[in-house]
Each structure stands twice: as structure tokens, then as C-alpha cells.
Amino acid sequence: QKEVEQDPGPLSVPEGAIVSLNCTYSNSAFQYFMWYRQYSRKGPELLMYTYSSGNKEDGRFTAQVDKSSKYISLFIRDSQPSDSATYLCAMSVSGTLTFGKGTMLLVSP
């Protein structure tokens, strides 16, 4: 079992939909949680960074962490075709980031 599990998708939604992306993890020592967006042939771009359990909102994006269930989520409201990309969750302990495989999101106009 990998430390971080993420459904690879693809997840296809119509423009304007609310998108839910999720990761589970097994290492209870993880302290910091991040979501990255990666467009094809580009490096990962940091979207959200959280530390504690609960919700953090930034524009159309909401990151949710449930440490008791070892489960994190990223919600995207009013999804746009430009949101089509691969979304990677990442978590860290002692400075090293461990990534999920990424979920490919396709938002159709």
C-alpha cells in the first residue's frame, strides 16, 4: 500500500460544476498538506497549503483536511475549462513531500 492514495481519473465534468478531488493517506505523522495543479508539460503549481484539520478557502478553491480519517479533499467551485489539468495532493513530515499519483480533471465547455 502506498503512503498516499489518489484516484487517477479522468474525472469529466461540465463547466460550472463543483468538483471534488480526494486523497487518503496512511502515515499519521504527516503534518502539512498541499494541493498542486499540473498542466501538460509543465511543472506542478502550488494551489493550497494547509496545516490543521478543517477548511481553508482561496477564491474558488477549498481545501479540507480530516486528520482523524486521514483524508484530504480539494473542492473547486464554478469549474472552468481552464481548470482542466492534473491535480496532485502532497503531504509532508520532516520536510520531505510525498505525492499522490494525481487526478486528471477535464472540464468541458
Partner 1 sequence: EAGVVQSPRYKIIEKKQPVAFWCNPISGHNTLYWYLQNLGQGPELLIRYENEEAVDDSQLPKDRFSAERLKGVDSTLKIQPAELGDSAVYLCASSLGGARTEAFFGQGTRLTVV
Quick one: 35 or 64, whose CB is closer to partner 1? 35
**Residue 40 binds partner 1, judged by CB under 8 A:** no
Q: Work out which of 13, 17, 97, 106 binds partner 1, going by CB under 8 A.
A: 97
Selection from 29, 48, 42 nearest residue 90 by Cα: 48
Burial class (CB in 10 A: 0-12, 13-18, 19+), 94: exposed
Helix ranges, 1-109 (H): none
Under the binding rule (CB under 8 A), the answer on residue 88 touching partner 1 is yes
Give the interface segment with partner 1, choosing from 14-22, 32-40, 56-64, 75-83 (CB under 8 A). Answer: 32-40
Q: Which is nearer to partner 1, 17 or 22 (CB)?
A: 22
Do 6 and 89 meet the contact criterion of CB atoms below 8 Å apart?
A: yes
- Binding positions for partner 1, 51-70, rule CB under 8 A: none
**19-25 vs 71-76, strand pairing mode:** antiparallel
User: Interface residues with partner 1 (CB under 8 A)?
Assistant: 4, 6, 8, 32, 34, 36, 41-46, 49, 88, 90, 92, 95-102
